[in-house]
Structure 1
């Protein structure tokens, strides 16, 4: 089940060298809940990159903004990224360098706004717009002209053969 997949991922990450800062567990009582988990990794790698649908986050400490951009792009998914910075120049550099369908500044990635066009740029997406842009992607415009009456109007510049 999904909860066991979260715990398996956490264990596999620990086996690869991740430090478990906060272990995700099954709380006592009924239900299929899992507590949050936090893993510290040395670096993100596509080979060990998995999209886990549960309350587990991997954190890597980076040297500088350039390293953060490299780490942020070391994923096959590219759904969302967050930039926490005071400098507008740092924000611009991060937004230009990160490959993600949604890049938030000084806030987390949960709860993407449906008012904005967004979608994953990698395996998280389907290469189609979502959010506000989805209407145009899903609609097929159709143009129609309707004439009423017994006679058909010939458009300017066109001719019709005489009645036979």
Structure 2
């Protein structure tokens, strides 16, 4: 698996690295490094790569453990709003991937999500960070294994989260 550089860990741009472990073949596949760009957020680009590799047969049907390491948590929306690239929020897409897989369930994914910082949104505010902490909770409720990073237990975020609930 690739690593994030020190500069990528602290960058405003979202970066992620990912790998798949096949429960059937017991092999690991490095999916690569992804970043937010004009095509979407880092998670959108990861999902696009998964779709391409399942469609072209690189990844055979089966059940996989999907490890995703991010420098910031996935973006979240309280409503099914679309991002600028006309797709749902990243956490919504990851929950769908965890719950439904791809190809009508021919590919199933058990996601382990590790992130370092809470995504602050634009503009970065405690409310936006609280919203994304709430999204992380939704991901955990869907069955994702989540390793929290810095800021998840921040008091200002906790106050804003109490207003969301």
**TM class by shorter-chain length?**
under 0.3
What is the TM-score of this pair, normalised by structure 2?
0.27
Which structure is higher in helix share? 2
Which structure has more RCO (C-alpha within 8 Å, separation ≥ 6)?
Answer: 2
Which structure is higher in strand share? 2
